[in-house]
Chain A
């Protein structure tokens, strides 16, 4: 009876997490008789009687109100199909993208074309995994010249930091413009030398995301590499 693993332990699918009916299975886990079992790879969170897993790998799972970066891969009659680094693509309708009236049959590539990257917000995720996007809102736009980077969607909260503290620190130190979408696609723009430092700093956060003293180490890294 009791927990079979420690809080914050990394577990693999099929691993026994707890015995007995005192515990309740939550995200990423399931019950098999008396046993609670890991249903995916993840980190155990067992703060109370509720046992769940924090996923460490896997595709981005779209959530309403997430701000994400996507790539236009198809242009239809009524809008744009967007690759959002998830199992499914998303749809950006003309009405959610362009303020003016657009007549039927207009060539939509004059607004956004194949390969364009957009900062968008998810307005709806249906039960059938249809994802609807909007470009209406502060900061939502087509991205211009800059560098697209890919990070693990599971590390995005750490890269952004509490109230954006980590990403602000990187931006301020490198004078770069940076957008990190919740889906793990990011955009960086600055002077080439600065951009390289900014991207290295982001990679460092990603690699060391679960170590302590990270903010301090990133600050040191940025100071060391700061251009005069």
Chain B
């Protein structure tokens, strides 16, 4: 049946149409709401059509890694909550959730989005750790792009809690924002047959041959992730990267 569904979606794509009436390179309606969790130091709800994902940032003071003694730490977690889809189960994170967290993490880290030196409190002893957690509320495709947008939006929404040199007082929030230098935007281009499209729904995602996530900031590429079962040609990559950079400019406007 997958073949029949695929043949059907190809007839749509040939006419430049999607199953929900969109054009191939058209995003769904995007919404970004800030401050949805007051106990988080930064939080956001991001919707891409029917996909809804929350991101929250908790700040803590930890020991730095020995190889980066004066850099703040970054941790990204992602939960594909069983609340958000009949296909997700309770239990330890599956590879899909881990990939999501790692792709988002890599995008932020490699773009050098956070000025980590500014998060050093006491070299080799104490640095700020930013922990971003993503949780899906309704999963209807394109979790990587929506999750990445939620993560950077939440970081930009973050202010540091008060720290007296001994412990963090979460009740006292300072108005110091995180030192964000750059804004990474992840755009995933999906390939079905000879066609390239963005922001698929769940129904379309099941029919995808290959995908390429391009994370960039001001036109410079900082992370890539190829997914899907089929290979890509060099020409495919050329098209996909161009399209991703173009769409990144559109996505950043929602922040």
Shortest CB-to-CB span from A26 to chain B, Å, is 32
Cα distance, A200 to B19, chains bound together (Å): 11
Chain A residues with Cβ below 8 Å from B17 are 192-193, 196
Cα distance, A146 to B15, chains bound together (Å): 16
With contacts A192-B15, A193-B15 taken as known, whether A144 is within 8 angstroms of B21 at the C-beta atoms is: no
Cα distance, A144 to B11, chains bound together (Å): 14
Q: Are B19 and A113 in touch, CB under 8 angstroms?
A: no
Pairs across A and B, CB under 8 Å, 18 listed:
A71-B1, A72-B1, A115-B2, A116-B1, A117-B1, A143-B4, A144-B4, A145-B4, A145-B5, A146-B4, A146-B8, A147-B8, A147-B19, A189-B8, A192-B12, A192-B15, A193-B15, A193-B17
Chain B residues with Cβ below 8 Å from A145 are 4-5, 7-8
Cα distance, A192 to B15, chains bound together (Å): 8
Within 8 A of A (CB), among B11-49: 11-12, 15, 17, 19, 21
Chain B residues with Cβ below 8 Å from A71 are 1
Cα distance, A147 to B17, chains bound together (Å): 14
Chain A residues packing against B (C-beta within 8 Å): 71-72, 113-117, 143-148, 189, 192-193, 196, 200
Chain B residues packing against A (C-beta within 8 Å): 1-2, 4-5, 7-8, 11-12, 15, 17, 19, 21
Q: How many A-B residue pairs have CB under 8 A?
A: 29
Chain B residues with Cβ below 8 Å from A113 are 1
Q: Which residue of B lies closest to A147 (CB)?
A: B8
With contacts A145-B8, A147-B8 taken as known, whether A196 is within 8 angstroms of B21 at the C-beta atoms is: yes
Instruction: Supply 13 further A-B pairs (C-beta < 8 A) apart from A115-B1, A145-B8, A196-B21.
Output: A71-B1, A116-B1, A117-B1, A144-B4, A145-B4, A145-B5, A145-B7, A147-B8, A148-B5, A192-B17, A193-B15, A196-B17, A200-B21
Shortest CB-to-CB span from B28 to chain A, Å, is 15
Chain B residues with Cβ below 8 Å from A148 are 5
Cα distance, A159 to B19, chains bound together (Å): 20
Cα distance, A138 to B67, chains bound together (Å): 73
Shortest CB-to-CB span from A2 to chain B, Å, is 42
Q: Which residue of A lies closest to B13 (CB)?
A: A192
Cα distance, A193 to B15, chains bound together (Å): 9
Cα distance, A135 to B226, chains bound together (Å): 43
Cα distance, A196 to B12, chains bound together (Å): 10
